[in-house]
Structure formats: C-alpha cells, structure tokens
Structure 1
Amino acid sequence: MVTNQEKLAQPKLTQPGTRANKEVMRLAASWYIAMPSLDLGKKPIAIELFGQPLVAWRDQTGRAAIMDRYCSHLGASLAVGQVVDGCIRCPYHHWCYDSSGECVSAPELEHIPPKARQATYYTIEKYGYIWVWYGSKVPLFPLPEFPSAEAQRHKYMAFRYAYATKTTVQRVVEAGGCDYYHAISLHNFKMTNPSQFTIFNNQDSANDSEPVIQKEAYLKFQLKVWNRFMFEHNLLGPIAQILGLSADTFTFQTDIWPSGCRMTGFADNNEHETLKVLFCTTPINENMTIAHFFVMLRKTGNFLLDIPYSLIYRLRSRIISDEDISVLDTIKHDGGGAYIYQDRGVLEHRKLYQRWVDKVE
C-alpha cells in the first residue's frame, strides 16, 4: 500500500481510470512509466497509454496529472487546451478541470453537471520518470525504490535508453528480467561453466543493499555466470579485456515485479556492485510496449577508464536491444508450451503477473 504521506500529497481521484479492455490488454495491476519527466513541460500533451487516449499536464505546483483526453462536455481534446490557474481548460467551452479530474468552473454555469469529470490516474514523479498506477483507484504496493539514483548518484555514471516493440508488457519483462536462457543463444554470450540460477523465497535470502519490495508483488532471482559475461559480445569483449574492464565471474541479483525489475550486478564477487539497472515498461496499446532502462555504472576510480567503460556498455546495450527487438516484434503474444528447466524464471514471473492481472478492478 502507499504511505500516508503519498496519500496526502496525491489529489483525490474521481475514477479509477482502468477502462482499458482487460481481455485485450491483459495488464497486471502495477506501476508503469507514462513518460520521461523531461517530455512533459508547461503545455498539455496528448499521449496514448493502456490503449486509451489521454492527456498529460502539470498543475500550478508542477505535479504531473494524467486523465482522459476528451472533455466530458462535448468531447473536445484537452491536449490542445491550456493550463490556467493550475487547471486544464478545454479549448472549446473553457470548462476547467483540476488535477483530480473534477470540473471546477464553467462559463455561465451556476451548477456544474455531476458527470463533468475526467477519469484520472494516480501518478508519482521519481527517478526522472512520470509513473502511473494501473489497476485500482489507489496503488496496492509502493513504487519500488532505486535509492542509488538519488543519494549515491556521485558514485556512478548514469545513462538512459528506451526502445519500442510490437508486443506485450509481459513478453518485454520476460526478455529484460527473467529469460537468462536467451542470452546464450540470441545474444551469443559464451560461458565456460554452466550458469547458476537461483530463485529466492524471500528478499532476505540474498545479500542485497536495495530496499525491500512488498513481498507478494515481487520475485527475487540471482544469476551467476562465468567468462566475462558482461562484455563477451562481438569485438567488445577483447576491447574491454585490453582496458582491464572484463571479469571472470559476474552475478546479477534481480528484484522483479509485474511490470519491471531492479537489477544489481557484481563482478568477481566484489563487495561493491558494478552496475545497477532500473527497468520498467510503458504499455501504449495491445501491440506496442516501450521498454525503459536507467543504467548506473559504478565509477572505476580512473577517469581515463570511465569514458571507454561507459561507451562500451552503452554500445553493448544498444546491440542487445536491437537483437531483442528483432524477436519481440514478431513473437506470438501467448505462444509456447514446451518448457524446460531453464524457463523456471519465466514461468515464475508468469504466475506473479497473472496474480496481479486478477487484481485489476
């Protein structure tokens, strides 16, 4: 559940805002990224999210609001309206709505019709993104924390990237956080020993510096691999090895929730993590999902190495994303069935995802 402080800071919502076709979208109740914070300025913008036409805008405090795009009066687009006195004003008849979706004023009307409301979503702005809760009137679990992006930012080199793909949230999260098996085949990672994949029953089972996520909303995986997994890709492996940036073993710890995950990587059993990744999704419609990655690489302590280190990892991320897109754009949304032992992470996430699909109101 959300904290009392978050409840007080959030405007009272007029409707749950979960009118997407449940059978078509099959979205889990969860946190999703609406857009990067920098994409929303002072003017309203039209967006599509959850298969719905919406409008995003900022009130007088700068808080992001996301609601139905078309005015409850005669259907004019609020995206071409203006923000006036902290409310979004319809361009047609100048009806004004506050950030909770309530119509607070309309020219020459003493009594505003009860139906003069816009369905509005619960939003939080954090880590450089505008997040939106889908599935119920108020969030059923808090936004997972990523404290390294704030208090410890000076220790890392950070970059963001995103890609769009023609498939579902579930498939994108599987590829980004659960399916280590495809790294060997699709991404051609070479391993001298069999990888070790562990599913933890609770978050305390692994040595983790990240805050706990609500138990019923997440899974915890650990993957240990050998032979310079981090950079063993085309020419990047030899270059990284020459620069002294390779590692003999690499361990990933992943906290995964229905719509994204938080990953921490350790090289050669180092007590300090090598990288941290925040990964989440934007469900545009049933055939389009955007994957967002916020990557933080721990600085090496040598400025001359930090630059090539960051460039190599960025290039590696781009190559891997392109390879994933080539498959995800053509994958069958509900295909498969001949499961093997290496699929247990995917299958565990599918059970988690379905539990939260069932929670959608």
Structure 2
Amino acid sequence: MAERSTRVGRRPRAAVVAGREVVVWRAGDGAAVVMDRFCPHQGAALELGRVVDGALRCVFHHWRFDGEGTCVAAPATRRVPHGASARVHPSWEGLGYVWTWVGSAAPEYPPPDFPHLDRRSPAHRRYRFAFDTNATARRVLENGFDVPHFPVVHGIAGDLRLTWDAEVDKHTIGTRITTDSITLPAPLDRRPGGLGRLCLHLRSTPSYQVLTFELNDRPVAHELLAVTPVAQGRTTMHGWTVMPRSGGLLGSAPVFWGYRLQHWWGTRADLRIYRDATETDGSINTSDDEGVLRFRQFHRRWTGGGRGTGQPVRRGEGGTVSRRGWDEAQDV
C-alpha cells in the first residue's frame, strides 16, 4: 500500500513503495493518484508542487500533470512537448488505504478482499495497527507460517498441526494451523486445561495476507496484514484487526482489549528478533520448518524469474497506465 486514505489530499505527499519513490495526491475528481515522485521535465520533486485545477503542478516550471499522468499545461514553454507525461501507477482505494502496484504496467493479482470492515457486516470492534521493522517483506509474511516459533516466542502451547488449503489461484497460498487444546501464557489464560480448540486460517499473497482466528469453531478475530517495503531491509507492516461483537465472553470489551494487548505484545516480540536478524543460505532446516519453506517457495515464484516483490513490483519497467489499471486487469 502507498498511504492511509485520510492522509491523501490536495497537497501531494512523497512516499516510497518497494524502493520506488512516488508522490500521492488527489485529482480534481477526488481519485487518489500514485505518480513517480520526480518531474519528467527537469527532475523537481513533485511533492513541492500543488494541485491546480485538478492537476499536479510542478514547482519548478509549473508544468501540470493530470490524474492519468498527461502533461496538460507547460506555461514556461511555447507548447507542450508531444508525449510529455509522468508515470502513474495503478492504484485502488479501499479499506482505509490507497493501494498501489509499482513496476509492471498492470497488476498481476487483485487488491485484498476483507469484507469484515464493510458497514453491512455484523457489528464488530476494530483497530488499525502499523509497525516499522528492519525485516524484509517476505520475512514478515512468512512469520505466520512458522509453526515452531509460536510456542517458543509467544508461549502458545499445544499440539500445533499444519494443513494446507487446496490452491485456489496462483497468487494465494493458504493453510490452517490447528490444535485441540491451546494454552496461552499467563495472565492471559488461567483456565485449567486451556481455552479449547484453536484454528488459525491464513491466506497470503506476496504482499498481503488475511488471517482468521477461531476458538472452538467460533471466529474470534479477523486480521488484514499488508507489507510496504520502503527501503532495502526496511518494511512497514500495517493493517486492521476486526473482532465480532456478540453475546458471551468472547464478544466482550475485556476480551477485545486483552486480544489487542496480546497482539501488540506478540508483534513487539517478533520485531525485537527482526531488528538484528540476518538472512541465511536456507540449507539447515527440520521437518517442522515445512510452513516457512513452502511459503518461501511460493514467494520466490513472484520475486524470482522476472516476478515482482512487495506491493508488488516487477523487475523491469512497464508502460504508463491509468489509475484505473487495477480494475482493468481482468486476467489476474
């Protein structure tokens, strides 16, 4: 993703997505635009400009670019050069964010489907989260597939089992991590014998994933986790957690705040490890590493051989496309 929707307005904002510098702004029709940061004329930073008559005006020579990237005015020159344009990346606005695809000319898979934030969905409590880390985007996403780290890092005890979903499409990998009796670290769980059956259903693309936590076959929380690789070895992980409001203890406010505290505590424990971790050659593994290894193989299909990484990006350059490009990419 490029930016939170509430932070995108008529004043352009600079951002970095998958190592690419962009500028995010709103055109005259209110649509969010994600454009290369520097003016194609003389390279001025476009966030120093302003939106005039629905187009982004460069501060240097007042060239103006519309939401499609076309130069619509160049007052300091006799005529607008033929074909003058700034590169616009496909974008989609939803779930409180502006999402973008940088690199290739068209997206290779769709933006996230997370209906739990829909106003028509059952009543719920929710919170937004964001963390910066030195880890790569892949390491952040593979964490949920790393079954052995749950008892060691997070104190979640139980006979954890990994079951893979049948492949639904080429851009998603899914698994269920289950146990018949889960025990959380004190003071979160004081019940003898544990809390009951747990199922974590995890569906991941190369740049975002949706998680559903079930306790005794009842959904307790839904999470959307997205990653924005902002520099080499630096990633922002952010998204939403949604917990249904319902009768009984699991739908109560104390459980919501307890879950939120546990989420923060657990994420901080992972970030503390990420801070100083390094990449290995991947040659030393055990059978318990199946989840991580299979996710890495899936992720490599997109990051290697010309595929992209992150939000996601493809090696090599594509042509300029309209901001409607995500909707127009029907073959993903």
Task: Report the TM range for the smaller structure's normalisation.
Answer: 0.7 to 0.9
Match of 1:144 in 2: 112
Using the TM superposition, give the Cα deviation of residue 190 of structure 1 relative to its aligned residue in structure 2, in angstroms.
Answer: 2.0
TM-score, normalised with respect to structure 2: 0.86
Query: Given the alignment, which residue of 129, 136, 156 partners 2:124?
Result: 156
In 2, Cα distance between the equivalents of 1:302 and 1:197?
A: 29
Match of 1:18 in 2: none
Q: Do the aligned residues in 2 keep the contact of 1:37 with 1:125 (CA within 8 Å)? A: yes
Q: Match of 2:170, SS?
A: helix
Change in 2 beyond 3 A, CA 1:249/1:303: closer
Structure 2 gaps of 5+ residues are 308-313, 317-332
The question of 1:345 aligning with 2:291 is answered yes
Counterpart residue identity of residue 28, structure 2: Q
The question of 1:281 aligning with 2:227 is answered yes
Counterpart residue identity of residue 235, structure 1: P
1:235-279 Cα offsets, whole Å, 9 max, x none, are 2223xx59xxx8311111111111121111221123xx2211111
Q: Do the aligned residues in 2 keep the contact of 1:199 with 1:345 (CA within 8 Å)? A: no
In 1, Cα distance between the equivalents of 2:114 and 2:19?
A: 28
Q: Match of 1:41, SS?
A: coil
The question of 1:131 aligning with 2:99 is answered yes
Change in 2 beyond 3 A, CA 1:166/1:293: same
1:9-33 Cα offsets, whole Å, 9 max, x none, are xxxxxxxxxxxxxxxxxxxxxxxx1
Q: Do the aligned residues in 2 keep the contact of 1:87 with 1:99 (CA within 8 Å)? A: yes
1:1-361 counterparts in 2 under 5 A? 33-114=1-82, 116-175=84-143, 177-191=144-158, 194-203=159-168, 215-229=169-183, 232-238=184-190, 247-270=195-218, 273-301=219-247, 306-357=252-303, 358=305, 359=307, 360=314, 361=316
In 1, Cα distance between the equivalents of 2:119 and 2:38?
A: 40
Match of 2:329 in 1: none
Q: Do the aligned residues in 2 keep the contact of 1:45 with 1:79 (CA within 8 Å)? A: yes
Change in 2 beyond 3 A, CA 1:351/1:143: same
1:323-352 Cα offsets, whole Å, 9 max, x none, are 011111211134542111221121111111
In 1, Cα distance between the equivalents of 2:276 and 2:146?
A: 17
Q: Return the structure number with greater helix share.
A: 1
1:80-116 Cα offsets, whole Å, 9 max, x none, are 1111111100112110011222211110534322463
In 2, Cα distance between the equivalents of 1:52 and 1:356?
A: 18
Q: Do the aligned residues in 1 keep the contact of 2:177 with 2:200 (CA within 8 Å)? A: yes
What is the RMSD computed on CA atoms of the aligned residues?
2.1
Using the TM superposition, give the Cα deviation of residue 152 of structure 1 relative to its aligned residue in structure 2, in angstroms.
Answer: 4.2
Match of 1:21 in 2: none
Using the TM superposition, give the Cα deviation of residue 305 of structure 1 relative to its aligned residue in structure 2, in angstroms.
Answer: 6.3
User: Which range is displaced more, 101-110 or 159-168?
Assistant: 101-110
In 2, Cα distance between the equivalents of 1:70 and 1:139?
A: 22
1:187-244 Cα offsets, whole Å, 9 max, x none, are 12222xx2111012234xxxxxxxxxxx111111001124445xx1342223xx59xx
Q: Do the aligned residues in 1 keep the contact of 2:10 with 2:50 (CA within 8 Å)? A: no
Structure 1 gaps of 5+ residues are 1-32, 204-214
In 1, Cα distance between the equivalents of 2:240 and 2:107?
A: 23
TM-score, normalised with respect to structure 1: 0.79
